[in-house]
Homo-oligomer: A and B are copies of this chain.
């Protein structure tokens, strides 16, 4: 039926790509993970300040998504006033190759586009 057909390995890989894409969907998730990756921990307002342009509602929703997928943890600390810390799980940290590659590629792409 189809002349070219991809191997089992390729198909598994493509499904992996799709899974990752789905988990990192939306405008902000990679930025959040990137920020947490650089800094270890961040509180809600710190994240909001570092991620330029994100609305609190949206940040809140993205954090919930990431928590549900076990990429970050949310820890409420009983301080005055209450502070909340967000941190990558080992799962989330294991995204570093993806995030780093995205960062490097993006920096290079921007440089290239500037030159032209």
Nearest-CB distance from A2 to chain B (Å)?
Answer: 6
A21 with B14: in contact, given A4-B46, A6-B50 (CB under 8 Å)? no
- Name the B residues within 8 Å of A50 (CB-CB): 6, 14
Give the bracket for the number of chain A residues in contact with chain B: 35 or more
Segment from A25-33, A59-67, A74-82 that makes contact with B: A25-33
- Name the B residues within 8 Å of A84 (CB-CB): none
CB of A107 within 8 A of CB of B13, answer yes
What are 12 of the A-B contact pairs (CB < 8 Å)? A4-B39, A14-B50, A15-B110, A16-B108, A17-B30, A17-B102, A17-B106, A19-B109, A21-B27, A21-B30, A22-B27, A23-B109
